[in-house]
Structure 1
Amino acid sequence: MTANREDAAQSVVTAIREAIVRGDFVPNQRLVEADLSEQFAASRASVRSALLELANDGLVERVQNRGARVRAVSLDEAIEISEVRMVVEGLCAAKAAEQVTAAEVRELKAIGKDMRKAVSGGDVLGYSQLNQRLHRRVREISGQHTASGVLERLRAQSVRHQFKLAMHPGRPAVSLPEHLAIIDAICAHDAAAAEAAARAHLRSVITALREVDQAGSATR
């Protein structure tokens, strides 16, 4: 495959992944190559290559004789993903505490300040975006590139559950002190405390996932 074709296929991968993350494509929705080719102004070959890559990432599944569709992630799988994240994000938080620079300390503290403002102002969407930014920066500061790649794939797979969790009433007020604890430990260069705070946050996520699912079942 030439460089141009690789770039074209990668741009389609990015576009489809972002559409799934935004919820434009919903779980179990069929992904028809011809439609995607038209929607993203890409060749059928680029679309086919993109779907194969997304299948490898766990976002898309191939169904025999029926093409591709958005893979639905069950609650049980979302919890398993969170359990893996608990271990890997704990590692990243610990490494970030060891690696963080003075400039990055100021950046993390600024994110924490913005998160406080978002919660006090009821800005749920803004808080969700800051949440994602914080987790991404911790991964980047840690320098753990393999772990970062794993976490990005896991986050994409469970994005629908994460969105429901982020929009759940009262959730930001619960998760804010958990995130601030991670920030404080990293900024204090306390690797053990940073790992413990990250693990505690993910345990809270698992509990909340179950609660949100039960609340949804009660209203159905």
Structure 2
Amino acid sequence: MTSSSPRPTRAVDDAYDRLHAKIFTGELLPNERLVEADLAERLKVSRAIVRTALVRLGQDGIVTLTPHRGARVRVVTDAEAAEILQVRAMLEALAARQAAVRATAREIDRLRRIVAGMGRRLEEGDLLGYSEHNAELHAAIIEAARHETAARLIAGLRAQLVRFQFRTILVAGRAAHSYAEHTAIVDAIADRDPDAAETAMRGHLSQVEATLSRAKR
């Protein structure tokens, strides 16, 4: 009995992670109805596991659960997206500051490789690939910060911005500015300058917020 007890928990964790990823990548769209039977078939798990995973996603603000009506991917308004970016700017600025102090030489090398990849995607006009590297860079900075509370809060906030994920990068000229901003963040972390890293990250996400505001007009 004891040896088998962790299995349901692991199954729920796996279902949660897979559903989270499908929402984050846009495979499951905002306001899309989440039918337990369909999801159970797609994930090859029981409906009970799916139901538990959906409750967790609801607690994280990623899914809306309505009694007798089931679950839907939560819709984030433009105004709320701006507020989320403001909070993210504070948390990710903290993460960048911590990364400047705590990142290992190997982690800094990784950050530089990711930025170099972003530059190549930009030269190729591959904005989707650029956006994927963008997300990878932010995740690597958060990992290097070793701040578990900030990492958990940022993950929840990022998941709510799925439908805004590529909107800003499609604005004319934004990708080049974004690349310069990310390069400045990584340079500050590599220079072990926490003040500059914090300022660069805060400035970058402020620009994302401003671009999103212009893009919705």
In the superposition, the TM-score normalised over structure 1's length comes to 0.92
- 1:150 corresponds in structure 2 to 153
1:26-66 residue CA offsets vs partner (Å, 9 max, x unmatched): 11111111221222221111011010000011110111321
- DSSP 3-state at the match of 1:72: coil
Q: CA deviation at 1:111?
A: 1.9
- 1:115 corresponds in structure 2 to 118
The one of 15, 18, 38 aligned to 1:15: 18
Q: Which range is displaced more, 102-111 or 57-66?
A: 102-111
Q: CA deviation at 1:158?
A: 0.9
- 1:217 corresponds in structure 2 to none
- DSSP 3-state at the match of 2:209: helix
Q: Distance in 2 between matches of 1:22 and 1:137?
A: 18
Q: CA deviation at 1:68?
A: 0.8
- DSSP 3-state at the match of 1:50: helix
Aligned-partner residue type, residue 60 of structure 1: V
Q: Distance in 1 between matches of 2:15 and 2:172?
A: 35
Q: CA deviation at 1:165?
A: 2.4
Q: Distance in 2 between matches of 1:153 and 1:196?
A: 23
1:176-203 residue CA offsets vs partner (Å, 9 max, x unmatched): 1110110110100000000000000010
Q: Distance in 2 between matches of 1:8 and 1:101?
A: 33
Q: Distance in 1 between matches of 2:73 and 2:104?
A: 40
The one of 174, 180, 184 aligned to 1:181: 184
- DSSP 3-state at the match of 2:31: coil
Aligned length: 214
Aligned-partner residue type, residue 91 of structure 1: L
- DSSP 3-state at the match of 1:163: coil
The one of 29, 50, 54 aligned to 1:47: 50
Q: Which range is displaced more, 81-90 or 122-131?
A: 122-131
Q: CA deviation at 1:15?
A: 1.8
1:140-187 residue CA offsets vs partner (Å, 9 max, x unmatched): 111111101111111111121123223444321121111011011010
Tell me if 1:35 matches 2:75: no
The one of 82, 94, 97 aligned to 1:91: 94
Aligned-partner residue type, residue 37 of structure 2: A
Q: Distance in 1 between matches of 2:39 and 2:64?
A: 16
RMSD (Å) for aligned C-alpha atoms: 1.4
In the superposition, the TM-score normalised over structure 2's length comes to 0.93
Matches for 1:170-209 after TM superposition, within 5 Å: 170-209=173-212
Unaligned 5+ residue runs, structure 1?
215-220
Q: Distance in 1 between matches of 2:112 and 2:41?
A: 44
Q: Distance in 2 between matches of 1:191 and 1:39?
A: 45
Q: Which range is displaced more, 20-29 or 46-55?
A: 20-29
Q: CA deviation at 1:23?
A: 1.6
The one of 76, 84, 89 aligned to 1:81: 84
Q: CA deviation at 1:18?
A: 1.6
Q: Which range is displaced more, 114-123 or 138-147?
A: 114-123
Q: CA deviation at 1:102?
A: 2.2
Unaligned 5+ residue runs, structure 2?
none
Aligned-partner residue type, residue 71 of structure 1: R
Tell me if 1:24 matches 2:55: no
